[in-house]
Amino acid sequence: MNNAIFDLPKTRLCAAVVLAWGYADPLKVENATTALQAELGNGWSSTSAFQFMAGKTAKAALDTADSEEQISLLVAYQLAKLVSHEFGLGAVNKPDHIDRAELIAAISAKH
């Protein structure tokens, strides 16, 4: 059974942390991390949010989101991959041409 649809709420929470970090807004990061911990437990941190968001489970889950939401989730996925790769948060490859093409296709489909 594919659990991707059940992982979408977790993916949204982790994406919120990643995107807040991308905006370089400490208050947004703190609020997003607090919401993440409230839903998933105190064992979750901004680091674990990046690690989850850069992985295959989050990617499969974001593919189940509606097309409008997919764009922001794809941005978070790619940012998480880049940061995780650059800071050694896991065995993650940085975003590649396939990732970029997928994001461009999602944006193009919206317009």
Give the Cα separation of 43 and 49 in Å (integer). 11
DSSP-derived 3-state class of residue 94: coil
The encoded tokens of residue 100 equal 């970029």
Label residue 111 by pLDDT band (50, 70, 90). low
pTM for this entry? 0.90
For the chain, the average pLDDT equals: 92
Q: Residue 31 above 50 pLDDT?
A: yes
Spans of all domains in the chain: 4-110
Sequence-distant (6+) residues with CB within 8 A of 102 are 74
Query: Taking residues 88-105, what's their average pLDDT?
Result: 88
- Token pair recorded at residue 72: 């922001």
pLDDT range class, residue 109, cuts 50, 70, 90: confident
Per-residue confidence (pLDDT) for residue 1, from 0 to 100:
41
Cβ contact 19:77 at 8 Å? no
Give, as one character, the DSSP assignment of residue 95.
P
The tens digit of pLDDT for each residue in 45-89 reads 999 999 999 999 999 999 999 988 999 999 999 999 999 999 999
| Under 8 Å between Cβ of 92 and 84 | yes
